[in-house]
């Protein structure tokens, strides 16, 4: 795989509903294909001249978006109330740096803060409970007017964790954010490029479909499946690892153990004949 491409996809700003930067990044690497996107921010990559192809259709599916946040309110003191786009565990959020994208496209740096321990009651210090309603993002503003007029931030602006991709070439390890599912996106681009060399001899018409808003309810894939109408779909997903907290014999997603082929998840049982291939 092209590690530089994967790094750019990992770094791309793209919380659910705001996937434009990811779309542009993929499109830049797919100039030899027919590329189009719809109003929902789903992206379709087809072999040149095959949109009306009569061969059976294989859809390569991945989602563009990643978990992020949105500005829910602006406090009088200049702090931003936030709402999650997707499923973060709250314990991972305090003291995390974020980027906020304003309506003009400007990127503003902030940090997720909570009440300092110095001001907590004994009960609050002893509690392990966190609430998103009591977390705020501090961008350094001193009031609501400064947030809106100087920083250009408004209610509804999206934000993402501030994590920059790195590659350890010596150990062949990637560090970054949004591997779920920019890894899947990169794999589809790589697969399409390899198949393009022999497309004339393929028995099927391969379509890459990159779906929006997966982290908030698999919304984009509902649309892409109706547009592409595949005879078979292969989903490229960045599944979670479990090899760091259970034994090797039980772990399913393991470092350097190759691709995980899912037989069962919360909503699907795989076709046994397809798995046997």
Q: Report the pLDDT value the prediction gives residue 161, as an integer from 0 to 100.
A: 96
CATH, residue 54: 3.40.630.10
DSSP bridge pairs for 234: 60
75 shares a domain with 24: no
Q: Report the pLDDT value the prediction gives residue 231, as an integer from 0 to 100.
A: 94
Q: How many independent structural domains does the chain possess?
A: 3
Q: Report the pLDDT value the prediction gives residue 253, as an integer from 0 to 100.
A: 87
Q: Note whether residue 155 is domain-resident.
A: yes
- Reported as a single tens digit per residue, the pLDDT across 200-209 is 899 999 999 9
Whole-number Å distance between alpha carbons of 115 and 10: 31
- Reported as a single tens digit per residue, the pLDDT across 215-258 is 999 999 999 999 999 999 999 998 888 898 888 888 888 888 88
266 shares a domain with 139: no
- Reported as a single tens digit per residue, the pLDDT across 2-39 is 999 999 999 999 999 999 999 999 999 999 999 999 99
- Reported as a single tens digit per residue, the pLDDT across 145-180 is 999 999 999 999 999 999 999 999 999 999 999 999
N- to C-terminal Cα separation, the chain: 23
Of 24-33, 61-70, 259-268, the one with minimum mean pLDDT is 259-268
Instruction: Give the pLDDT mean for 49-54.
Output: 85
Instruction: Give the pLDDT mean for 270-275.
Output: 82
Q: Note whether residue 172 is domain-resident.
A: no
209 shares a domain with 77: no
Q: Three-state DSSP class for 269?
A: strand
Beta strands in the chain (DSSP E): 34-37, 43-46, 57-63, 68-74, 80-85, 97-101, 107-113, 136-138, 158-161, 166-168, 173-175, 205-211, 232-235
Instruction: Give the pLDDT mean for 100-119.
Output: 93
Average pLDDT, the chain: 93
User: Quick check: 137 and 110 in contact, CB under 8 A?
Assistant: yes
Q: How confident is the model at residue 67 (pLDDT cuts 50, 70, 90)?
A: very high
Give the dihedral of Cα atoms 76, 80, 81, 84; nearest 10 deg.
170
151 shares a domain with 96: yes
Instruction: Give the pLDDT mean for 130-153.
Output: 95
Instruction: Give the pLDDT mean for 75-97.
Output: 94
Instruction: Give the pLDDT mean for 78-87.
Output: 96
Joined together, the tokens standing for residue 31 give: 């100039």
Q: What is the pTM of this model?
A: 0.91
Q: Report the pLDDT value the prediction gives residue 233, as an integer from 0 to 100.
A: 92
215 shares a domain with 80: no
184 shares a domain with 60: yes
Q: Report the pLDDT value the prediction gives residue 129, as an integer from 0 to 100.
A: 83
Q: Note whether residue 171 is domain-resident.
A: no
User: Quick check: 134 and 43 in contact, CB under 8 A?
Assistant: no
User: Domain span at residue 247?
Assistant: 239-277
Q: Does the pLDDT value for residue 270 go beyond 90?
A: no
273 shares a domain with 221: no
Q: Which residues contact 146 (CB under 8 A, 6 or more apart)?
A: 78
Q: Report the pLDDT value the prediction gives residue 276, as an integer from 0 to 100.
A: 82
Q: Report the pLDDT value the prediction gives residue 260, as an integer from 0 to 100.
A: 87
């Amino acid at each position: 795989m092209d590690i530089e491409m994967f790094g750019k996809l990992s770094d791309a700003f793209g919380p659910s509903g705001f996937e434009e930067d990811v779309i542009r990044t993929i499109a830049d690497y797919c100039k030899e294909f027919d590329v189009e996107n719809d109003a929902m921010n789903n992206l379709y990559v087809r072999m040149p001249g095959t949109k009306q192809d009569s061969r059976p259709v294989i859809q390569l599916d991945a989602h563009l978006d990643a978990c992020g946040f949105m500005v829910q309110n602006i406090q009088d003191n200049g702090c931003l109330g936030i709402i999650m786009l997707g499923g973060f565990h709250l314990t991972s959020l305090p003291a995390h740096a974020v980027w906020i994208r304003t309506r003009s496209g400007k990127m503003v740096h902030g940090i997720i803060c909570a009440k300092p321990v110095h001001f907590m009651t004994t009960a609050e210090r002893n509690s392990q409970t966190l609430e998103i309603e009591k977390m705020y993002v501090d961008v350094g503003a001193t009031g609501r007017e400064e947030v809106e007029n100087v920083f250009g931030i408004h209610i509804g602006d999206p934000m993402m964790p501030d994590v920059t991709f790195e590659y350890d070439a010596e150990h062949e390890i990637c560090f970054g954010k949004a591997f779920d599912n920019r890894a899947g996106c990169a794999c589809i681009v790589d697969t399409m490029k390899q198949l393009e060399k022999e497309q004339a001899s393929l028995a099927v018409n391969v379509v890459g479909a990159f779906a929006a808003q997966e982290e908030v309810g698999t919304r984009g894939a509902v649309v892409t499946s109706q547009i592409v109408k595949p005879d078979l779909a292969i989903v490229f997903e960045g599944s979670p690892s479990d090899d760091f907290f259970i034994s090797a014999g039980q772990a399913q997603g393991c470092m350097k153990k190759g691709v995980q082929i899912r037989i069962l998840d919360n909503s699907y049982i795989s076709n046994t004949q397809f798995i046997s291939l």
